[in-house]
Amino acid sequence: MDFRTTCEETKTGICLLQDGNPEPFKVRLHLAKDILMIQEQDVICVSGEPFYSGERTVTIRRQTVGGFGLSIKGGAEHNIPVVISKISKEQRAELSGLLFIGDAILQINGINVRKCRHEEVIRKINRNFPVNQQIVYMGWCETREQGPLQDSAYSPAFLALRGSCLYKFLAPPVTTWDWTRAEKTFSVYEIMCKVLKDSDLLDRRKHCFTVQSESGEDLYFSVELDSDLAQWERAFQTATFLEVERIQCKTYACVLESHLMGLTIDFSMGFICFDAATKAVLWRYKFSQLKGSSDDGKSKIKFLFQNPDTKQIEAKELEFSNLFAVLHCIHSFFAAKVACLDPLFLGNQATASAAPNSGMMSKAKYTA
């Protein structure tokens, strides 16, 4: 990948830092519009010209496992360019010897990104990654600690939507291995996100959303700005759509009248119920034939399908060990079907209300 960078938006300098050790050491200071960065002075100039005098083009290739070894921040929505905020040790960005914290990214593979929003730059970088490794969202928020108190404590959390998963970190992932050490990891198509109205807020904080996991656990988050909330909602919808489009189908074990069965949710074909032992198909219906459903909030789901010939409603009841995961997965597939019919679905905040046309009704906290 070719990066064109500049440091015109930052002030830099070298000084001695005393951190408690007997001998001070040299560090490079980067003063940007909203942050002061301190970098250990251990990079040698190899091009013969000052790095901070203007623009330069740097070519780095993504590692077979992992990424480019850098983090970025900023964007047009903050009236600043996207800048490199962190460079990982012993990874491609650092090994190039040509990239530094505070560098502003001006072009990516010849495409001008000077006036791009943060998420637009992420998408342009993601084009070099397979779908299951693409990062759709990364950002700080605050999570509400579990408890009945009106003024419950909040703690910082870093959320990332990457490939098939939502990751919850205590600190941003920097290296490839950091992705394996997330505090919590969820499959995006088996969880439900709900942006809260003012009447649903638990305290005086605004810009809140909840995530219900596949086990039914509720996580409560808060972001700083309304634009941050809108960005998160768009990113979650996009990540879910991309993952459903990638996997195409998902099968869950279930029980019908004491017999072990399987229910496949197929993006193209709809619902397919089959015998787990013989693989014989008992019934199948298209998504459009689902006219309603209900669940007991524990394990059972009753589906109401319309027979295409008789137009009669046919009830099918199945029992699952992972009720919430199944409900959320069905909702994700329906939302993805709507997105395919309406190209504006992913960028429209009102799309969250489109999914109830599926007829899914749940006694769980969220309506699917």
- In tens, the pLDDT along 291-343 reads 999 999 999 999 999 998 999 999 999 999 999 999 999 999 999 988 877 65
Q: Say what percent of the chain tops pLDDT 90.
A: 41
Cα separations (Å) of 284 from 270, 301, 325?
7, 16, 20
Mean pLDDT for 270-274 is 97
Query: Using 50, 70 and 90 to split pLDDT, how confident is the model at 222?
Result: very high
- The C-alpha atoms of residue 111 and residue 113 are separated, in whole angstroms, by 6
Closest CA to 81 of 183, 158, 9: 9
* Beta carbons within 8 Å of 213's beta carbon, 6+ residues apart: 186, 190, 191, 219, 324
Question: What is the reported pLDDT for 8?
Answer: 47
Per-chain mean pLDDT for the chain: 80
Q: How many of the other CB atoms lie within 10 Å of CB of 283?
A: 12
Per-residue pLDDT, averaged over 138-146, amounts to 88
Least confident of 57-61, 88-92, 261-265: 88-92
Query: What pLDDT is stored for residue 362 in this prediction?
Result: 40
Burial 202-238 (b: 16+ CB within 10 A, else e): beebebbbbbbbbebeebbbbbeeeebbebbbbbbbb
191-206 average pLDDT score: 91
What's the mean pLDDT in 140-169? Answer: 84
Per-residue pLDDT at 359: 39
Residue 219 has pLDDT above 60, yes or no: yes
Answer whether residue 357 shows pLDDT above 70: no
* 137 bridge partner residues: 161
For residue 276, pLDDT beyond 80: yes
Burial annotation 263-276 (CB, 10 A radius, 16+ → b, else e)? bbbbbeebbbbbee
Lowest mean pLDDT among 58-67, 89-98, 134-143, 198-207: 58-67
Q: For 280-294, how does the pLDDT look when each residue is reduced to its tens digit (9 = 90+)? A: 999 999 999 999 999
pLDDT per residue over 181-196, tens digit each?
899 999 999 999 999 9
Query: 177 pLDDT exceeds 50?
Result: yes
pTM for the predicted model, two decimal places: 0.66
pLDDT of residue 160: 93
Torsion sign, CA atoms 350, 355, 357, 362:
negative
- pLDDT tens-place string over residues 107-135: 887 788 888 888 788 777 776 667 677 88
